[in-house]
Amino acid sequence: MIMAKKGKIVIARYLAGDAVKALEKDFEVIMNPEIRGVGRDILRRQIQDADALITSGDEIDREMLKDAKKLKVIADAWGGRGIDREACKEKGIEVRSSRIPINWINYTEAEHALMMMMAVGRGLLKQDAFVRSGYYSNYEEANQDFLGFGLYGKMLGILGGGFWSGDELTRRARALGMTVHYWDLGQSKAVEDEGALYMEKDELIRTSDYIVVMNNQYRGYLLDEEEFSMMKPECILVNVTRGNLIHEEALVEALAKGELAGAGLDKFENEPEMNPGLEKLNNCILSPHSDGALLPERNRILQDAIEQCLEVLG
């Protein structure tokens, strides 16, 4: 005998993970496949007869909710800033936000920075292309053509991150035998407790073997033409947080002139667009804002949103 569905749950946009499969036996589930959402008109029609809505920063205002006669709960996978809570209160709709602590972003950001540091420093893309091309014939070729820079014994300079991910990166870098200095708008006990020493910005830029740019409240460029000219020619720059802290055009010129050895960028000044000069450089590795692209963590966020919906629906 076919059992009647217990209700309808709409997921406003694509959310990674397979947690939704557990719902499909008992609920009608609509998960929109578009990462940017399906648009207001489509979503408004979808929730007219929905019991629950899962969002991820989507704008859910009074007009959107006007015809949602059955909606009992909206669970947002992040902070729920786009939800009109007053309109929800009037309609008896409970609003839930993610209970997953945001600090998972901090450790995945630190891991991404280390990945970039090693990949750029060891010329990973060039080595991979060499092997795939069929040219590899003797292990000594690496000592002739692919000499790189390791991490052990090197100095890492962190620009920013004192109140965000700098402590996580410091802990990992020191475990790999690096010395760590940092600069931020204020000194950070969390970073210093992990063994990093505060250093003035210009001195950090001049003396670091690796520089990682991390989030802070700075406005304007942390790194521009003047700062690139200070760097060691063997310095490697990595950015995992805010692209608008680096003047991209000046970076392209500095990389082309050899003012620094290479760069790894996960964020761009005018994201998602990037300076076209970057893609022409063989000493630069680029990733698409993927520092937080981890399946278990993303699935846990979706699972939490689903559980909160079920708590309300009973």
Residues with catalytic function: 242, 271, 289
- Cα dihedral sign, 241-247-249-251: negative
Residue 15 has a CB neighbour count (10 Å cut-off) of 21
- Compute the distance between CA of residue 20 and CA of residue 29 in angstroms, rounded to an integer: 8
DSSP-derived 3-state class of residue 202: helix
Rg (CA), the chain: 24
- Compute the distance between CA of residue 96 and CA of residue 8 in angstroms, rounded to an integer: 17
Peptide bond into 233 cis (omega under 30): no
- Compute the distance between CA of residue 209 and CA of residue 215 in angstroms, rounded to an integer: 20
- Cα dihedral sign, 269-271-276-280: positive
- Compute the distance between CA of residue 213 and CA of residue 309 in angstroms, rounded to an integer: 38
User: Where does 102-260 show beta strands of DSSP type E?
Assistant: 155-159, 179-183, 197-198, 210-213, 236-239
- Compute the distance between CA of residue 81 and CA of residue 58 in angstroms, rounded to an integer: 8
DSSP-derived 3-state class of residue 152: coil
Q: Cα angle at 65 between 61 and 70, to 5 degrees?
A: 150
- Compute the distance between CA of residue 171 and CA of residue 244 in angstroms, rounded to an integer: 26
